[in-house]
Amino acid sequence: MTVKIPHVTLNNGVQMPLLGFGVFQVPDDQTQKAVEDALEAGYRLIDTAAAYENERAVGRAIAASGIPRDELFVTTKLWIQDYGQDSAKHAFDRSLDRLGLDHLDLYLIHQPFGDYYGAWRAMEDLNRDGRTRAIGVSNFYPDRLADLVTHNEIIPAVNQIETHVFFQRTTDHQLMREHGIQHESWGPLSQGGQGFFDNPVLTGIARAHDKTVAQIALRWLVQQETVAIPKSVRPERMAENLDVFDFQLTDDDMARIADLDTGRSQVFDHHDPAGVKWLGGVRFNT
């Protein structure tokens, strides 16, 4: 039986599934099968990026599924090398061609570096023209997000940031709520780091609800109306990750999970000058 996934309403009225499927770090030769399995399991939000270099495989899976386009929510992202008003529009066209689609549901600026102002102006045009139903950003910390909101006409619909039980992003979440921006989590399972699957708090809560640690972490996100995009190449894990809408975490559960927050990224420090310089030099075949 297909799970009915709740939706959130973005600041422009577009409906977005609360739980989706991400393909970050899924090898290109495994992506089509993984997305086909995810769609079969019931996922309707698929998240990719030009920098993941697997958009074509995502597109093939969508085409093979036979699912009507209006039942899907497809996200991809613009990489740093293609920022700037003109280059961003060309990069959008290339992503759309690789995906085999005539429009996107959500287009994101992937990193808060380089000429993201020029990229945002291009994305505003694409949104006005109906080529992407919503536009947003990824990896924007509160200062950068507030700056973009203050000086542009269209407020981002989404900010997709690393968010999980060990990096809870409470300040970010509050700022997004104040501006009507949807919080979306990448890395919702902490990429298995910091002893995630053996954490005694999470395992204890999981036992109490007869659920897995992954299901507890995902429930913690969706219970706060934070969109999550877990990834897996195993169909049984895909189904497990969807099975989080038949129970509720208690106030005590939520308080215990709140104590797990380290306030630090498990992946990349966007405030580290050396890391920022390195990221700005990364090039992909976009």
Catalytic residues: 52
CA 194 to chain centre: 21
Pairing of strands 15-17, 7-9: antiparallel
Taking every pair of Cα atoms in the chain, the longest distance, rounded to a whole number of angstroms, is 54
Measured between alpha carbons, how far is 98 from 60 in angstroms, rounded to an integer? Answer: 9
The Cα angle at residue 238 between residues 233 and 239, in degrees rounded to 5: 145
Where would I find the H helices in 76-154? 85-99, 116-128, 142-150
Instruction: Provide, for the chain, the percentages of residues in helix, strand and coil under a 3-state DSSP scheme, each rounded to the nearest 5.
Output: 45, 15, 40
